[in-house]
Amino acid sequence: MVLAQVAAAVIAGLVFLVAGMAAAIAALGGGLVVALGNALLALRVFRPPLAGGGVTARRFALGTLLKWLVVLGGLFLILVRMRLPLLPTLVGALAATLVNWLALRFDI
């Protein structure tokens, strides 16, 4: 899943390359931030040995919190600190998110 999200981020970056380097980097960064957040969530939930329902639920909750901290922090860095354009950043993030939604929809 994460590799597919990285691929979507790269494609979004390549598409926005026609608008300039800043737009391409913004689109790539937006998608990579989402992919990184999902990778950290997956590592938090699935990397430790399997456990009972309560432990798994706590891992998932903490992993989701970690994911959103990374995504929101990464978007803050891209938009505020690096001052990259908003639209390509959001398109890159949306492209990576759509990969996740489509995989869940079609049981890929």
What was the pLDDT predicted at 90? Answer: 97
pTM, whole model, 2 decimals? 0.90
Q: Would you give per-residue pLDDT tens digits along the chain (108 residues)? A: 999 999 999 999 999 999 999 999 999 999 999 999 999 999 998 887 878 888 889 999 999 999 999 999 999 999 999 999 999 999 999 999 999 889 888 865
The answer to whether residues 27 and 88 touch, using CB atoms and an 8 Å cutoff, is yes
What was the pLDDT predicted at 108? Answer: 59
Which sign does the torsion angle of CA 7, 96, 32, 1 carry? negative
What was the pLDDT predicted at 99? Answer: 94
- Please state, in angstroms and as integers, the Cα–Cα distance from residue 46 to each residue in 7, 70, 100, following that order: 22, 18, 17
Domain ranges of the chain: 2-106
**Calpha distance 85→78 (Å, rounded):** 8
